[in-house]
Structure 1
Amino acid sequence: MRVGITGHQKRDGIEWGWVRSQIDLVVTGLPRPVIGYTSLAVGADQVFASSLLDHGANLTAVIPIPNYEAFFDGEGLNLYRSLLNKADQVQLPGNEGDDQEAFFRAGLYVAKHSDLVIAVWDEQEAKGHGGTADVVRYCEDQRIPLIIINPIKQSVSSAPYKAAAANGLPKKQ
């Protein structure tokens, strides 16, 4: 099963331990083998990638732009490098001067290559172009099954698509 991630990087009110426990529950319930798609951004992407690796899944890193490391620092950069070394890599061509568009294209790449997308999302509109809400909207439009982990309300729901039921995933709660 191919599973992707979209989600918050930094946001007040997120308890990342709770998010990790919810991602672990999803990952352990997926049919094997599991291949995860992520851009390895700080926050949801790195939590997801760590969960996948801890559960023996394969990881594919979708790198949005050639100088992607410049967007990381400190522990986020260290974890990015560590996870990247354990992943297959897909390097996307960057957009000259439009990083947000490149990040959005990476989110779409993840969604298009996934049988299921996990969205760590507060269910609010995106603050800029290509945010989590935009990727979720794309998944809904394309009827890509979604599991939404709302880290603020600490709730989990899934899109009620036939494909989700066929994959043994839970119906919308």
Structure 2
Amino acid sequence: MRWGITGHRGLPAPVERLIRGELATQVQQHDGVDLIGVSCIADGPDAWFAEAVLEHGGRIEVVIPAEQYRDGLPENHHPTYDKLIAQAVEVHSTGMRESTAQAHMTGSEILVGLVDRLVVVRDGLPARGYGGTADVVAYARDMGVPVDVVWPAGASRA
């Protein structure tokens, strides 16, 4: 089973706890040996999902949207990013240099093309910018990739 992840970043700590619990529950429904998680390993759900897959005995593949992608992530996330990319069994790249909205969407398109299902941490609202979670969901659905939305009751982006 190859699962991808996309989702909102910058979620408050109480929502993080809810989402981490939901992601762990999703991952634990599958045999860890056969599970491959595909992620861009950004801060938030991307990294939380990758960590849950690894903790369950699965493997991860990483999609890097751009050479400068890591530099655009919060500095406090860099150690987690570095740890996860070091554990990846395969790394995919867009070949783009600058970490732009187009690079992020291209990375997401590559991710969607690699997976059987897409787990989405999303509140259901429109994307806040091109390449946002809603755009990735629309692309996955256009490509026929099943989408599993994770958004626990009581969760809010505010």
Q: Summarize the Cα distance change of 1:74–1:13 in structure 2 as closer, same or farther, 3 Å threshold.
A: closer
C-alpha contact (below 8 Å) 1:38/1:62 kept by paired residues: yes
Larger Rg: 1
Q: Summarize the Cα distance change of 1:11–1:118 in structure 2 as closer, same or farther, 3 Å threshold.
A: same
Alignment of 1:42-121 (within 5 A): 42-87=43-88, 88-94=90-96, 99-121=100-122
Query: Which range moves more in the overlay, 17-26 or 46-55?
Result: 17-26
Q: CA deviation at 1:20?
A: 1.1
Report the equivalent of 2:10. 10
- Root-mean-square deviation (Å): 1.8
Q: Summarize the Cα distance change of 1:35–1:98 in structure 2 as closer, same or farther, 3 Å threshold.
A: closer
Report the equivalent of 1:139. 140
Q: Distance in 1 between matches of 2:141 and 2:84?
A: 29
Q: Summarize the Cα distance change of 1:98–1:46 in structure 2 as closer, same or farther, 3 Å threshold.
A: closer
Residues 30-71 of structure 1, C-alpha deviations (whole Å, 9 max, x = no match): 255111110001111010011011011110010011122211
Report the equivalent of 1:28. 28
Per residue, is there more helix in 1 or in 2?
2
TM-score (norm 1): 0.81
Q: How many residues were matched structurally?
A: 153
TM-score (norm 2): 0.89
Percent identity at matched positions? 28
Q: Summarize the Cα distance change of 1:51–1:6 in structure 2 as closer, same or farther, 3 Å threshold.
A: same
Aligned amino acid, residue 104 of structure 2: F
Aligned amino acid, residue 54 of structure 2: L
C-alpha contact (below 8 Å) 1:14/1:152 kept by paired residues: no
Q: CA deviation at 1:74?
A: 3.2
Structure with more contact order per residue of length (Cα contacts < 8 Å, sep ≥ 6): 2
